[in-house]
Amino acid sequence: MVTLYDYLPSGNGYKVRLLLSQLGVRFRLVEKDIMKGETRTPDFLAINPNGRIPVLELEDGRRLAESDAILFYLAEGTRFLPEERLARAEVLQWMFFEQYSHEPYIAVARFWTHYLGKAVDAEKTERGYQALDVMERHLGVRQFFVGERYTIADVALYAYTHVAHEGGFNLVAYPNVRAWLGRVASEPGHVAITRRQFG
Ligand SMILES: N[C@@H](CCC(=O)N[C@@H](CS)C(=O)NCC(=O)O)C(=O)O
């Protein structure tokens, strides 16, 4: 059985939990409380030198960090990753967008407001809305991010978009994004970020 090192409120961890659930893959969950620095101990740094969850540990002990890389690994050969060359690259395009233009603002704003109780600076909020604007335009003529079907690009972007309000983002002006959130949530095998029991 694979092992997932994770922190349950984490959207990055949730991406992996969501896909594992949708794939019907059973896994062992090892919780690391990032608020207590549990990913920065020597023991955990030996697991991931970058000191962050999620980390997937395979049955043979090999490990993989970075949520979107884990999604890509797990989705290979499944309906969650297209086979066609350009479509695969488009999935990567949206996952890189998520990591560079979306997560650093929308996830970080959530962490600061919801978990640290601190104010978020205006620039982060503005950049977060810019990412939402990009998504809103793209979804204006599409049901999903790539190839008109649900893929790991949707999983990656859903994780923090559906809890963006916890970082102070208001999605009222984003009807296409809201409709897409609903479509993703109604995919078979969907689990909530708050789910604590797996397998
Ligand atoms: N780019 C990484 C980001 C991972 C990340 O930032 N993890 C956070 C939780 S969401 C963490 O472990 N933070 C603990 C720390 O930095 O000490 C990914 O997508 O997996």
CA 16 – ligand 1 centroid, Å: 13
Q: What is residue 198's predicted lDDT score, i.e. its pLDDT?
A: 66
Per residue in 107-121, pLDDT tens? Answer: 999 999 988 999 999
Nearest CA to ligand 1 atom 13: 52
Quick check: do 2-75 and 85-185 share a fold? no
∠ CA 114-165-80, nearest 5°, is 105
Q: What is residue 194's predicted lDDT score, i.e. its pLDDT?
A: 84
For 2-75, CATH number out of 3.40.30.10, 3.40.50.2300, 3.40.50.620, 3.40.640.10 equals: 3.40.30.10
Domain limits, the chain = 2-75, 85-185
Contact 171, 165 (CB under 8 A): yes
- Among 5, 12, 96, residue to substitute to test ligand 1 (most atoms within 8 Å of Cβ): 12
Whole-model pTM: value is: 0.97
Per residue in 77-93, pLDDT tens? Answer: 999 999 999 999 999 99
- Report the CATH fold assignment for 85-185: Glutathione S-transferase Yfyf (Class Pi); Chain A, domain 2 (1.20.1050)
